[in-house]
């Protein structure tokens, strides 16, 4: 497995990470817990060293699962988790954000216990909280770093000015935001800023929440527990139009003797040497397919062909419903 360093930090990770959210939440019926623990361990055995979880996944239970799965490999892996949402007295997720410094420190202590670790390798603010100045957030994480409870500070879905302001108080090691062949908005402002400041980029949903694998079409239906049901981009009429993108990917993939998913991941890896995508899966064969992208080197001609093909396709549908869209890019 190749490794990459996230920006100018000394945080070295596998070139492809593992997004853990779907191991027990968000994408439909709950997978078998023991099978998911075995899958995470299989990822480590195949060279993956970067695992992404959050208190909000589950909620709380995803961290417990990841902590148990990675306990035998603690010295080999980097675990990222996140803070910033509100929860009720029984651990249930409730509407609203909470990045008050005192709350950040409470979450850190709870995450350390759930993950069964002595230090959190990378601690992201999950969403920017407009009620708390980002300088206060960065200051709280700085104190956690000074206390030896956190190693690196990250932001998720933050806007350019927020990133810049936070970085002054406590250097930001990584930004996690959506970026893929069907969501290229970060290219306009965010990626140049990250390059300027020396911040690594961790794209989530690098396979378009499964769409770029080519395994969906306009007739695809989603389980009632699958949050893609609420996303405009996954409405049948949008899927029908967006199929043109996957069809183009399939043609390029066939020429390069790869799969559409591998092309999508290899394209991301080719953008910058400090980009580390974190595809998630619940299936071993998909994990192995994804990891195959690391050794797939796209030539400048390949990249030109892909970009030319993409320019002919207009992706339909917002990536979030309006109420969620308001929480990103702040």
Kindly tell me the number of DSSP H helices and DSSP E strands found in the chain: 11, 11
* Residue 179 near residue 206 (C-beta atoms within 8 A): yes
Burial class (CB in 10 A: 0-12, 13-18, 19+), 27: buried
Nearest CA among 66, 65, 55, 78 for reference residue 3 = 78
- What is the C-alpha separation between 323 and 330, in angstroms, rounded? 14
Q: What angle do CA 265, 266, 272 make, to 5 degrees?
A: 100
> Please, are residues 93 and 56 in contact by the beta-carbon 8 Å criterion?
yes
Which uninterrupted H or E stretch holds 203?
strand 200-204
Active-site option among 57, 124, 179, 320: 57
Judge contact between 239 and 220, C-beta under 8 A: yes
Nearest to 100 by CA among 127, 126, 69, 137: 137
57 catalytic per annotation: yes
Number of Cβ within 10 Å of residue 295's Cβ equals 11
Distance (Å, whole) CA 289 – CA 273: 21
Catalytic residue annotation: 57
């Amino acid at each position: 497995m190749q490794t990459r360093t996230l920006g100018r930090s000394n945080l070295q990770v596998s070139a492809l990470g593992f997004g853990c959210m779907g191991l027990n939440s968000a994408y439909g019926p709950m997978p078998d817990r023991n099978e998911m623990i075995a899958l995470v361990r299989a990822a480590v055995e195949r060279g993956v060293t970067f695992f992404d979880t959050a208190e909000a996944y589950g909620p709380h239970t995803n961290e417990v699962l990841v902590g148990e799965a990675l306990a035998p490999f603690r010295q080999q892996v980097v675990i990222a988790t996140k803070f910033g949402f509100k929860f009720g007295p029984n651990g249930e997720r409730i509407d609203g954000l909470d990045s008050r410094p005192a709350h950040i420190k409470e979450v850190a202590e709870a995450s350390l216990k759930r993950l069964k670790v002595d230090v959190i390798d990378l601690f992201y603010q999950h969403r920017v909280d407009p009620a708390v100045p980002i300088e206060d957030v960065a200051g709280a994480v700085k104190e956690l770093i000074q206390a030896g409870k956190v190693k690196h500070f990250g932001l998720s879905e933050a806007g350019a000015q927020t990133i810049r302001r936070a970085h002054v108080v406590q250097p930001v090691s990584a930004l996690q935001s959506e970026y893929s062949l069907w969501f290229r908005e970060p290219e306009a402002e965010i990626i140049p800023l990250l390059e300027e400041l020396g911040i690594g980029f961790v794209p989530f949903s690098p396979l378009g929440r499964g769409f770029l694998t080519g395994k969906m079409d306009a007739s695809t239906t989603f389980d009632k527990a699958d949050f893609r049901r609420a996303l405009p981009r996954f409405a049948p009429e949008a899927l029908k139009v967006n199929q043109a993108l996957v069809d183009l990917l399939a043609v390029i993939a066939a020429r390069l003797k790869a799969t559409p998913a591998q092309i999508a991941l290899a394209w991301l890896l080719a953008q910058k040497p400090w980009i580390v995508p974190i595809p998630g899966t619940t299936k071993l064969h998909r994990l192995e397919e994804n990891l195959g992208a690391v050794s797939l080197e796209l030539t400048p001609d390949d990249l030109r062909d892909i970009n030319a093909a993409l320019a002919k396709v207009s992706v339909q549908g917002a990536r979030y419903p309006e109420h969620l869209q308001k929480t990103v890019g702040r």
